[in-house]
């Protein structure tokens, strides 16, 4: 059933279609009785004809329409019209968590933002459970975020009780997938799977550990193992208990005060780029928190504090020991950021190794010349937005090979002034291994310049790693992660993440020798 603009359904006048999913079609409608814009979801014919679902839909409707919580999209009406079940909810202008994470942090989402989402949704779920209602379909697409960046952000859970009976594969609890009776612990499992996906870019397999994807969050492995336990009895007693345990171990205090004058007092490094002599880093957007576990909680005070001065003088020399740093730091700067959605497609690319699929796709060869764009304008420091300008671009020549059980790629940095030659000096090659559906570089250790609390110039030990996975258009998308391992500048444990886009631009230049992968 497709409704066109101006059509009437159950008394509601259709303005336009908002979206289509496996459970039905959503329209923007107006209620003539109130002149308010609302969202009408017409459930699929299959669900409307499913006897068991129809019985549950009718039984739960009084609970759903009377449910009120600041983190739940209000349900105005549920019913049936011309043989199709439907639900009418408040219309929310915003984005869902899946799209928001992909747009702002294409590799993984910051732990602080995920914690805020999980805390809000956990409260909404427990409230619904206390009123006899299960969600049955918690996933990123059902978590809406509205008012972001406007000082009044709201996190809202939608689609209560109108998900597929067996849930969504990858998010649904084992007992739900088998059709066994479920309770609120099934929603808890789905919430944990949602958080796992947003933090890692992958859905949790049995026995999966978050630390395998993000080593700095390994302390959360026990919390996720419990919330994702196959046996519901082994999970937390409530969704709030899961959220609180995760926040405590992550060292995060979720702050619901979004007043414009509150800002954490904390200093951080703005990583140096050699051609930026004498330029201080721009102020942080909201300010990053201190490294987890490295310092006491930050003190919130009015106003903002300017970040420390950046050390830039001899950064290129200092970074010579780290190939990733050299390649990304001394590359030619992009005057304007390239649209990540408009990069040249790589010819004859293999199917994408999507993180939404539990089983990774076969390795995609990494052969040819690639332009790597480092999106500093989307950079984060300790999982807080910390944009820096300008973006930077480098070009690399890659060769890859596969042997039973493993695939390896080696890249050589090209001269940005003449892409037919290797960079000289260009350091050693970058080596990447294919695992868990993505190309991951072998960790590089580097000393990085910083400024201590007393203003003294120092260097601190860091490791750097690059991770890339294939997109549908043939480009590779991922991030460069820099982790601080010493405390010369009071930044032990700090993590800098910068999105990276790699697009194939041609074959390996004839005059460039790339070491054979081993």
The 10s digit of each residue's pLDDT in 240-275 is 999 999 999 988 766 444 333 222 222 222 222 223
Instruction: Give yes or no for residue 348 having a pLDDT over 70.
Output: no
Q: What's the average model confidence in pLDDT over 323-348?
A: 35
64-78, 106-120, 227-241, 283-297 — most confident range? 227-241
469's enclosing H/E stretch is: strand 457-470
Percent of the chain with pLDDT over 90: 35
Q: What's the average model confidence in pLDDT over 152-159?
A: 85
Instruction: Give yes or no for residue 292 having a pLDDT over 70.
Output: no
286 φ/ψ angles, rounded to the nearest 5 degrees = 90, -15
Q: Report pLDDT for 417.
A: 82
Q: What's the average model confidence in pLDDT over 414-442?
A: 85
- Residues 256 and 348: beta-carbon distance below 8 Å: no
101-110, 250-259, 418-427 — most confident range? 418-427
- pLDDT classification of 337: cutoffs 50, 70, 90: very low
And the tokens for 20? 């289509």
Tens of pLDDT, residue by residue over 389-422, are 677 888 999 999 988 878 999 999 998 888 899 9
Instruction: Give yes or no for residue 462 having a pLDDT over 50.
Output: yes
CA 370 to CA 373: how far, in whole Å?
10
Q: Report pLDDT for 152.
A: 62
24-33, 94-103, 161-170, 360-369 — most confident range? 24-33
Instruction: Give yes or no for residue 190 having a pLDDT over 80.
Output: yes
- pLDDT classification of 212: cutoffs 50, 70, 90: confident
- Residues 515 and 413: beta-carbon distance below 8 Å: no
CA 43 to CA 270: how far, in whole Å?
50
Instruction: Note every long-range contact of 349-352, with CB atoms under 8 Å and residues 24 or more positions apart, other chains counting.
Output: 349/470, 349/474, 350/470, 351/470, 352/469, 352/470, 352/471, 352/472
Tens of pLDDT, residue by residue over 27-75, are 999 988 777 789 999 999 999 999 989 999 999 998 888 888 889 999 9
Instruction: Give yes or no for residue 146 having a pLDDT over 50.
Output: yes
Range of lowest pLDDT (345-349, 441-445, 447-451)? 345-349
Return the exposure string of 395-426: e unless at least 16 CB atoms fall within 10 Å of the residue's CB, then b: bbbbbbeeeeeebbbbbbbbeeeebeebbeeb
Q: Report pLDDT for 426.
A: 59
Instruction: Give yes or no for residue 103 having a pLDDT over 80.
Output: no
Go through the domains of the chain in sequence order and give each one's CATH number: 8-90 (3.30.200.20), 95-250 (1.10.510.10), 272-349+363-506 (no CATH)
CA 15 to CA 39: how far, in whole Å?
10
CA 498 to CA 380: how far, in whole Å?
6
Q: What's the average model confidence in pLDDT over 449-476?
A: 80
Instruction: Give yes or no for residue 277 having a pLDDT over 90.
Output: no
- Residues 467 and 497: beta-carbon distance below 8 Å: no
276 φ/ψ angles, rounded to the nearest 5 degrees = -110, 35
Q: What's the average model confidence in pLDDT over 496-516?
A: 89
Instruction: Give yes or no for residue 355 having a pLDDT over 50.
Output: no
And the tokens for 337? 């950021």
- pLDDT classification of 169: cutoffs 50, 70, 90: confident
Instruction: Give yes or no for residue 192 having a pLDDT over 70.
Output: yes
Instruction: Give yes or no for residue 473 having a pLDDT over 80.
Output: no
Average pLDDT, the chain: 76
51's enclosing H/E stretch is: helix 51-66
341-350, 476-485, 509-518 — most confident range? 476-485
Instruction: Give yes or no for residue 356 having a pLDDT over 80.
Output: no
Q: Report pLDDT for 305.
A: 31
Instruction: Give yes or no for residue 342 having a pLDDT over 90.
Output: no
Instruction: Give yes or no for residue 291 having a pLDDT over 50.
Output: no
Percent of the chain with pLDDT over 70: 74
Q: What's the average model confidence in pLDDT over 4-15?
A: 93
295-299, 321-325, 331-335 — most confident range? 321-325
DSSP symbol at 291: P
């Amino acid at each position: 059933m497709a409704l066109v603009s101006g059509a009437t359904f159950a008394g509601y006048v259709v303005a336009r279609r908002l979206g289509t999913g496996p459970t039905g079609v959503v329209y923007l409608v107006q209620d003539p009785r109130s002149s308010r814009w609302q969202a009408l979801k017409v459930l699929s014919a299959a669900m409307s004809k499913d006897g068991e679902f129809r019985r549950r839909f009718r039984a739960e409707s009084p609970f759903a329409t009377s449910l009120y919580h600041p983190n739940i999209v209000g349900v105005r009406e549920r019913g049936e019209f011309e043989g199709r079940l439907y639900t009418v909810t408040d219309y929310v202008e915003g984005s869902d968590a899946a799209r928001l994470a992909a747009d702002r942090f294409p590799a993984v989402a910051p732990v602080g933002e995920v914690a805020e989402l999980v805390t809000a949704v956990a409260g909404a779920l427990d409230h619904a459970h206390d009123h006899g209602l299960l969600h049955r379909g918690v996933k990123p697409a059902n978590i809406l975020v509205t008012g972001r960046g406007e000082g009044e952000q709201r996190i809202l859970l939608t689609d209560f009780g109108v998900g597929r009976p067996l849930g969504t594969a990858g998010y649904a609890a084992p007992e739900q997938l088998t059709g066994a009776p479920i309770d609120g612990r099934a929603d808890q499992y789905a919430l944990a799977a949602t958080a796992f996906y947003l933090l890692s870019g992958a859905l949790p397999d049995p026995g999966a550990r978050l630390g395998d994807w993000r080593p700095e969050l390994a302390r959360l492995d026990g919390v996720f193992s419990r919330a994702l336990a196959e046996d519901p009895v082994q999970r937390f007693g409530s969704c709030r208990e899961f959220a609180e345990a995760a926040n405590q171990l992550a060292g995060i205090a979720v702050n619901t005060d979004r007043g414009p004058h509150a800002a954490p007092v904390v200093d951080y490094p703005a990583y140096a780029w050699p051609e930026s002599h004498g330029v201080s880093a721009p102020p942080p957007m909201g300010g990053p928190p201190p490294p987890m576990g490295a310092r006491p909680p930050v003190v919130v005070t009015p106003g903002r504090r300017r970040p420390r001065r950046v050390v830039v003088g001899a950064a290129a020399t200092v970074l010579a020991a780290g190939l990733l740093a050299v390649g990304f730091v001394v590359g030619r700067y992009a005057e304007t950021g390239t649209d990540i959605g408009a990069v040249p497609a790589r010819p004859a690319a293999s199917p994408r190794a999507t993180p939404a699929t539990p089983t990774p796709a076969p390795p995609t060869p990494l052969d040819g010349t690639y332009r790597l764009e480092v999106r500093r304008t989307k950079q984060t420091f300790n999982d807080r937005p910390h944009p820096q300008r300008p973006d930077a671009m480098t070009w690399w020549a890659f060769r890859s090979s596969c042997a039973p059980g493993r695939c390896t790629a080696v890249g050589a940095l090209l001269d940005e002034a003449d892409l037919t030659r290797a960079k000289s000096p260009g350091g050693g090659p970058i080596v990447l291994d294919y695992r868990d559906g993505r190309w991951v570089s072998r960790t590089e250790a580097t000393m990085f310049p910083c400024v201590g609390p007393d203003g003294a110039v120092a260097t601190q030990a860091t490791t750097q790693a690059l991770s890339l996975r294939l997109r549908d258009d043939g480009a590779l998308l991922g991030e460069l992660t820099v982790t601080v391992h010493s405390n010369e500048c009071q930044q032990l444990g700090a993590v800098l993440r910068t999105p990276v886009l790699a697009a194939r631009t041609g074959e390996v230049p004839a005059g460039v020798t790339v070491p054979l992968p081993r």
